[in-house]
Amino acid sequence: MKVKEIPENTLHRLVIYLKVLEDLEKKRIESISSEELARRCGVNSAQLRKDLTFVGHLGTKGVGYNVRSLKYSLKNFLGRSQEWNLVLGGLSPLGIFLLENKELQKEGFYFMAAFDHREENIAKIYNGVSVYSLDQISYVFKAIKVDIGVITAEENPEIYLEAFLNQGLKAILNLSKAPLFVKDTSVKIENFSFPLALTKLSYFLKDSDKG
């Protein structure tokens, strides 16, 4: 049986639903309708229900959704019931910020190693994470299981991408200024940078001037 591929936008929304459900659970809300949950997620209720069909049948007709069980299903569906190991590529200020920040650990994402191509950074330790030379990458990848590569290099991010792909990594969060792409559909890259996000807003502001 061929499982229908989940659309990118649906995935994006499912991730939001999960986060909003976690907050609802903290607020001790036990049950919610698609209408109300959709409102809190900025979407249409029919869309929310349709999105949830990818996860499975989870509501009770005439009643709504149990917050705790829907959260649990979504968390499981999105692969967030397990922990994931990260490596960092490129020791920029943002890279150091991420290594030192404890928030990702709380969410189950653990940096296991960092890589940099500049001699002066090698063997430094940030929050218990060692910085290795890119030359040592195959040695490091043999010693630990790595799931996700996070690229924070300010220059030549593509050298980290290439090194990660050579090691067989299939998931990359690219936080460098330059968006990165690969043809290989077995590899997933998420591109984000602050200037890119701000540019979408600057378009919006410029455009609303004209109105």
Partner DNA sequence: AAGTGTGAACTTTTTCACAGCT
Partner DNA sequence: AGCTGTGAAAAAGTTCACACTT
Q: Which residues lie near DNA (CB under 7 A)?
A: 7-10, 33-35, 43-47, 49-50, 52-53, 57-65
Say which residues have a Cβ less than 8 Å from residue 26's Cβ, sequence separation at least 6: none
CB of 93 to its own copies, least distance (A): 6
Shortest distance, position 43 Cβ to DNA, whole Å: 6
Nearer to DNA, 65 or 164 (CB): 65
Q: Output 63 or 82, the one with its CB closest to its own copies.
A: 82
- Residue number, 29 or 133, with CB nearest to its own copies: 29
What single-letter DSSP state applies at residue 119?
G
Output the six-digit token pair for 67. 């917050």
Q: What is the largest CA-CA distance in the chain?
A: 64
Q: How far is the CB of 62 from its own copies (least distance, A)?
A: 27
| Residue 42 binding target from its own copies, DNA, none, CB below 5 to 8 Å by type | its own copies
Nearest approach, Cβ of 17 to DNA (angstroms)?
12
Cα 43 to Cα 10: distance, rounded to the nearest angstrom: 11
CB of 133: closest distance to its own copies in angstroms? 25
Q: Are 57 and 46 in contact (CB under 8 A)?
A: no
Provide the sign of the torsion angle of the four alpha carbons 128, 95, 104, 102, taken in this order.
positive
Q: Which is nearer to its own copies, 100 or 135 (CB)?
A: 100
Q: Which two tokens mark 183?
A: 């043809």
Give the phi and the psi of residue 82 in degrees, each rounded to 5.
-115, 170
Residues near its own copies (CB under 8 A):
3, 6, 11-12, 14-16, 18-20, 23, 40-42, 77-80, 82, 84, 86, 93-94, 97-98, 100-101, 103-104, 107, 109, 147-148, 154, 170-173, 177-179, 181-182, 186, 188, 190-192, 194-208, 210
- Give the residues across from 88 on adjacent strands: 114, 150
